[in-house]
Structure 1
Amino acid sequence: MEAGQITLENSLSPQKNALRSNIKQSLSNVLGLYKKYGVENIFIFEIGNIYQQSKNNNRYEDYQEIAMLGIYYENTNNTASQNLNEIKHILGAILSNLGTNKYELTKDGEVLINNKSIGRIDINSIELDIDLLSKINLSPSRIVSELKNDVIENISLVIDRNKNFGPVYNFIKDFDPNITDMEVMEEYHGKEIEDNKKTILIKITYKTPETGEIRKQLFTQLKSKYGVIHRE
C-alpha cells in the first residue's frame, strides 16, 4: 500500500481495500486491454478524483479529494526515448492551450509552474492537478464561435412572363447586408396567374429576426424598378 493511501474498513475485496491515490494505476489497467487486442498506438486519458491523507493518523479531517487529469500514451513501435519525447510534446500542447509555455520539468518528473508543483510526468504518463492549475493565473487560448440564428422566409413574386429574372435576383441578393442567402425554389405560370405573368417562389435567409422593414422596402423598390409585385 502506498504512503498516504486511505484504507477502507469494509471493502468488498482484499485487492480493493483502499481509495486510489493516483490516476496512472487506473489507466494502466485499461492499457492491458488495448495491448491484448494488438493496438500499437495507445492514447487514453481520464479526469477524475484521487484521495490522499496529509497525515498518517487516519483522521477524516486530513483526507484530501483532488481532481486530476491523467494521460497515458504509448506506441509499441517507439523506443523509450521516443515515447518520452512524445509525452513531453503532449504536456507542452496541453499547457500551451491553457495559456502558458513557461514550465519546468525536474529530474524526478515533477511539473513546475512558477516554482509550484502541479503534477508529474514519466516515460508514458502525465498527471496534472486540476485544482492547482485553476489557481494559477493563466491566459488560455480561446476559440471564438458565433451562434447563428438565421431567419428563412419563402416569398412569391409576380413578374412579366418574358422578363429575365436575373437582374431581379441580383438586386434582391445585394439589397441588404442582413440578407445572407437567396435561392429560387420554383417558377410557375398557369391557373390563377395572368397569361402574360409568372410567379417566382424564392427563399431568403436573413441573419436578423427584424425582417419586416427590410421586406417592406424590398417590395417597394422591386415594384418601382422592375414592376415586380409580391403575391400574397
Structure 2
Amino acid sequence: MALNVNDPRRIVVAAGLAAFAAGCSSAPAPLDDSDKIVRATIRLLASEANTVCVDRTTSGKPLEIFANMASGPPEVRHLVGWSPPRPLGAPVQQVSRGDALTPMSTRLAEPGGDGARLPPLEQFRLNGAARALMRQRVLDAVTVRPEWAPRVVARPWLVNRFDPGCAPRYVVSPPVRAREFAFVTVKADHWGVTYALSPVAGDWRPVAEWSRWLY
C-alpha cells in the first residue's frame, strides 16, 4: 500500500533517514582553544612515555597550588619558579625491604624537574599572568580524545582506578586562559605540575612549568 505524502508514517521514516545520513557524514567537531590547550599538554606528557593513561574528562583547579605558594611567606616564594617544560613522569617508588629491627617501608621519590629557571623577565610575565587568572572561574571540562597523541589511553575515572596496568594515572585539569597565556595542572599519582602555554599559529604550546610538588 502506497504512503500518502502527508502520511505521518512517511514523515517519521524520512526524518529517521535524514538523521542517519547526517550522523554518517558529520565530521568531528572542530577544536576550540580549551581543547587545543589540553591536547598540547597531552602531547607533552606523551613525548617521553610508552603509554599515557589519562582520565577522559579534565578535573581539578589549574592554579590552586600556585595561588597557595604565591600567598606564602617570602622564604617559600623564593624556592619556586618557572622552568622550561618537561613531561611529568612519575618516578618509581623506592622500597626499603627492612630487616629484623626496621620494617619494610615505601618512600616516594622526588618528582624531578625544576631545571634551569627562566630569565627574570619571563618569571615576571608568567607570575603576573597566573596571579591575574588564579581567581578566574575554571572553564568547562574538556574531553580528552585518544587520537590527540600516540600511546594515549583515555578512559573514565573509575575504569582507570580499577585497572592495575594503568600506572601512573594522569589527571589533567581544565585550563584557564587569557590572550597570551593559559595554565593547566597535571597530576600523576602523588606528583603534580602546572604548565603554562602560549598561542602559536592557531594552536597552543607549553612554554614553562611551575615547580613540581608532592601531594
TM-score with structure 1 setting the length? 0.18
Relative contact order (alpha carbons < 8 A, sep ≥ 6): 1 or 2 greater?
2
Q: Which protein shows a greater Rg?
A: 1
Higher strand proportion: 1
